[in-house]
Amino acid sequence: MKLADIPVGKSVRITDVTTLNELVRRRLMDLGIMEGAVISLRKTLPFGGPFTIESSGQWIAIRRSEACQIAVEGVC
């Protein structure tokens, strides 16, 4: 499942970010968004706009194209 497929408000664990551009992957890792991290989708903007995710209390906006490349799994 991809991050772009989950509903707003759901928490998931990141399982794979290897398909992301190296610079984007590095920037997300600097912010704590890496494999194994639990994140929550907070907002999606219409018309191809960005996704807002929350990780460890910080809110981060990422492009929709990047959210389509991040593999996630549900958290119980």
Tell me the C-alpha distance between 65 and 75, whole Å.
Answer: 23
Tell me the C-alpha distance between 20 and 8, whole Å.
Answer: 22
Can you tell me the mean pLDDT for 36-65? 94
pTM beyond cutoff 0.75: yes
Q: Is the pLDDT of residue 24 over 90?
A: yes
CATH number at residue 27: 2.30.30.90
Can you tell me the mean pLDDT for 14-29? 94
pLDDT of 76 reads 64
pLDDT of 48 reads 87
Using a 10 angstrom Cβ sphere, with 0-12 exposed, 13-18 middle and 19 or more buried, the burial of residue 75 is exposed
- Find the domain containing 33 and state its range: 3-74
Summarised one tens digit per residue, pLDDT across range 56-70 is 999 999 999 999 999
Number of domains in the chain: 1
